[in-house]
Structure 1
Amino acid sequence: MNNFKLENIINQKLNSQTIQDFVPNGLQVEGKEEVNNIILGVTACQKLLNYALEKNADAIIVHHGFFWKKESPVIHNMKRQRLKTILCNDINLYAWHLPLDIHPSLGNNITLANILNIKPISPNFSFPFFLGNFEKPIIGEVLRSKLTQILNRNVLYYHGDHALDSIKTIALCSGSGQQFIEQAVKLGIDAFISGELSEPTIHIVREMNIHFYVAGHHATERGGIQSLGDWLNKKFNLNTHFIDIENPA
């Protein structure tokens, strides 16, 4: 498949042109014209780039790519080596950030919600986070154990002193989505799942009496890129292979 055609297909699928982001979504570094062999990963780190090179990949697709807003434009050291690996070997680098977090069928949020059997409250995906219900209420510690098993990592768990014993309504937002917790609380949630923890969040959890799970930025953002790779394989018969570069954050 032509490298620019691949970009257009994924842009259309993820509706990325309608989403404001702080990173360019799509083809970030142009490589060879024809793409068949694709390596996918969460972040375009050097270890992933080296693996793609070993596997003779035509393209790399990631959730966290390059050229973030407010990032220094100077090409030194680590950034130089990463770009050198891609450019000198004619590999295409694609990245989709927020479009891959919130997509209603392939996104990080919906992927995790489906694994946990959380049903959306409505088909309205206008929120930056997923909002849904468990079919049957679940005990807070049981959900922590379930997340730990599913994501294969130690999940931190906090709750307010007067939080409900069981959880019915829940919001989740992958990565650094804890910034949306107050917005979600206004919608009547019992619990919130995110990837990261910030100091003010614990006070919000305590004072708003909800359950809160810190499941890892990397761990909560593996699902979307894997779903995208599976979709490309099934829909267009492209050779896609997801590589999980372990990250405890």
Structure 2
Amino acid sequence: MSQKTILITGCSSGIGLDAARTMKARGWRVFASCRQEADCDRLKGEGFDSPQIDYADSESIAAGLSDVMAQTGGTLDVLFNNGAFATPGALEDLPTDGLRRNFEANVFGWHELTRAVIPVMRAQGHGRIINHSSVLGLVSQPWRGAYNASKYAIEGLTDTLRLEMADTPIHIVTLNTGPVTSKIRVNSIPHFERWINWKASPRADQYEAKLLKRLYESRGPDPFELPPSAVSKKLIHACEATRPKPRYYITTPTYISGIARRVLSTRGLDWLLSRGR
């Protein structure tokens, strides 16, 4: 049996890095892509194939996938769309260009890479496309509008793709994570500083009282936070099960939110989600 292959994006740290190491340990040939060349070089030092893929750069997507295809002879068993970033701040303070930038990386790039991979999987007669969504693709939280919106978009794209690909041998899977240890808070700071003029906001007092502290101060693990290995455990099943689930929930808040959005009224759900505001 030939070695199974998987392309994972966003492998510089956190969930992507743990997923790459986990799947490699299970005997998969892992293409652990990163946005920055320095991170790719570091992973190559660990023995990974590490193509550079920046979701916001079409040429990077095409070149990265071409690199993978050249090394596999034109096949790929699994694509795990994982790389994304957040731009914290109130939506009324977020310039549309900032939201557009978030969608380029978190949505449009995923769509572009996925479209490029589908013909490969059609030709080989099998494949799996796994999209890393979030609890914030199920429910929203204040101050995270750009990220909420991007994950809601991924939910819509993935659900539609799953329906459309049902007559093909390609499985479409969603992973919904909640609080998982990662660098997303730290990595979001440059985007916040670039796009949010919080001092000029009518919510300046709220920024000072709450958001700035949450953003700049390390408070230790969030309630119910799990390590990245919790995601990798579900990824293994999504990749290796004969009949993978269409959706995997990860962390207690994700299960609670999935139930809450089905049983609560809109006002009830708003009340629940606003309690930590």
Please give the TM-score of this superposition, normalised by the length of structure 1. Answer: 0.27
Query: More strand by proportion, 1 or 2?
Result: 1
Query: More helix by proportion, 1 or 2?
Result: 2
